[in-house]
Amino acid sequence: MNDNNNKNKKLPPSGNNSFFIFLIISVVATVILNVAISSLTAPKTKEILYSDFVQMIKNDEIEEVVLAADKIQVIKKDSGSKTTTEKLLKLWGMKDNTRQELYYTGYINDQRLLPLLDEKGIKYSTPIQYSNPVLEFFLAWILPLLFIYGMFFLVSRSLSKKMGGGIMGVGQSKAKMYMESKTGVSFRDVAGQEEAKESLNEIVDFLHNPMKYTAIGAKQPKGALLVGPPGTGKTLLAKAVAGEANVPFFSLSGSEFVEMFVGVGASRVRDLFKQASQNAPCIIFIDEIDAIGKSRDNQLGSNDEREQTLNQLLAEMDGFDSSKGVVILAATNRPDVLDKALLRPGRFDRRIIVEKPDLKGREAILHVHVKNVKMAPEVDLHEIALATSGAVGADLANMVNEAALRAVRMGRSVVIQEDLMEAVEVIIAGKEKKDRILSDNEKKLVAYHEVGHALATAVSKNTDPVQKITIVPRTMGALGYTMQMPEEEKYLMNKDEIIDELTVLLAGRAAEEVAFGVKTTGASNDIERATELARNMITIYGMSDKFGMIGLESIQNRYLDGRRVSNCSQETQAAVDDEVRDVLEKCHKTAVDILENNRTALDRISEFLIEKETITGKEFMEIFNKVKSENLLDEQTADDVQETDNNLCDF
């Protein structure tokens, strides 16, 4: 591949084409305008005999006579009233002769003519030419031409802002071309997506060394579809491919193809592939391709513009030769709505899943984002990665930036571990609300609620340890929260782990009931999460004692909102609701039993939390273990006393 040739390639000069098109339209419009004005103002002339001319003078039918060198022009009297055409021409400073009947006859040296004209009071004159040919040509041709061209230019410029491309460019592609020096992104800047990078690296190698693959008979994939949740780095991966391959990178969104005019999107697709062929080898990247690639089987309605655009895209992907080095990359969060014809082999040959990163991937992503941030030596990114389970690359980048901003606010020159942990909490729960002051009773309720979660976590066998407990209100609505830190990454959950998780979620409400005998609105989010998890256990995971291994619900839009779709009858749905309620009631009872058996620890840790407002998991476990030791000692003492009493009785 010749890199210099690639860098010297330019897009077609669409601006020059527009200039010539405007010029041609302006010339044609000027000619039509002059012809129209000439036909509008030209008088009707008719040749008559000289004898008839003399008779018209005698009958007093002539208004004016013009004596030229070769002929006599005769203007007959009009009927009097002005027409609309004459009024308009008068406004333009022009004379209307359309209603006057003009005649002409040959010139005869008649000595009786002038006395006869004087006798009848008819005006006569000889024409004198004062015209300037250059000025007339400028006024008749150049000035209208400039005016019409300027009018078209202004209208096109105005429309181009509204629909992109103007009148002449409405069908042209708006793809932005980035060279490798402008993207500044390579695979070194992408972490946590090793499988996706491996699949894309083969495409890069094909662009660099096509003969290595064609020699064995392999064909370059025409397209690759990047699928995954928002923020996982699909666009970043596409730019990294262009940066690694050092080829032109055409980037645009699927919504940029669709306009209000039917056929515009299809025209832009044709123009895009034409530009790509002229700049091959290159990469075309279409972000959010579901905007134009939705299935055409929609029964609710259709969109002619979108369907024509999709049809043109399918035709272009079938028509271009992959050996030229044109690779199409596309990204979407909704692969389930794409048209089947778009996904078949020969169009998008590969589907590359860009999932949420695992523990190792999150740690690698954090290392990428902290490269340009001054970090303290004791910062442990592994701990941050553990605390951010489920976070994507965009979330982690935001957390690092929030940590840097907090370090500046606190007057530090480097970011410490505390800044990063606080940034994690800001992203999850929001900032601390210092202006929200809870009453003593509310603070006590929140403290018991959060300690209830923590105690259920400490007692249960299949839960993650507590990292932090706080009763400081947050901007996202939480009056307090209990933060857990997993010891390792988990990819599966068994039924016992789900039951323990449900027990922990319902332990907050259980603590309110055990300590105060009341139920508050603070458990709403816990109940919502517990209900969803219990329903998944029954309808999706096949862990139901009543229904067994049957999928009663499925998930649509898995990478977005994860909307549920029922696959069963209404009677079965009602039975599912009953079983969900039974599972939650059992878990709630278990939570109540745990807290009643650990009432001393519940009271003592809650009092400590009310005083400190925020405690660490280490402090929580120290108090909990101390209370357990005291209870164990009390039980041993009671057993010793009982044994002594028994001995005395025996004695």
Q: Which residues are catalytic?
A: 450
Query: What DSSP assignment string belongs to 612-633?
Result: HSEEEHHHHHHHHHHHHHHHHH
Identity (one letter) of the amino acid at 499? Answer: I
Angle in degrees, 0-180, between the axes of helices 417-429 and 393-409, rounded to the nearest 10: 120
- Per DSSP, 432 falls in state B
**Rounded to an integer, what distance in angstroms lies between the CA atom of residue 92 and that of residue 502?**
87
For 414-487, strand residue ranges (E) read: 466-470, 481-484
**Rounded to an integer, what distance in angstroms lies between the CA atom of residue 80 and that of residue 85?**
14
* CA quadruple 320, 321, 325, 330: dihedral sign: positive
**Rounded to an integer, what distance in angstroms lies between the CA atom of residue 605 and that of residue 616?**
12
User: In the numeric block, which tokens belong to residue 604?
Assistant: 């003592």
Angle at 533 between CA 528 and CA 539, to 5 degrees: 120
Cβ(173)–Cβ(268) under 8 Å?
yes
Residues 523, 528, 533, 535, Cα dihedral to 10°: 130
Burial class (CB in 10 A: 0-12, 13-18, 19+), 490: exposed
User: In the numeric block, which tokens belong to residue 51?
Assistant: 């004898």
- Per DSSP, 358 falls in state -
Residue 105 Rama label (left phi>0; alpha psi -120 to 50; beta) = beta
- Per DSSP, 131 falls in state -
Angle at 526 between CA 524 and CA 530, to 5 degrees: 120
Cβ(346)–Cβ(387) under 8 Å?
no
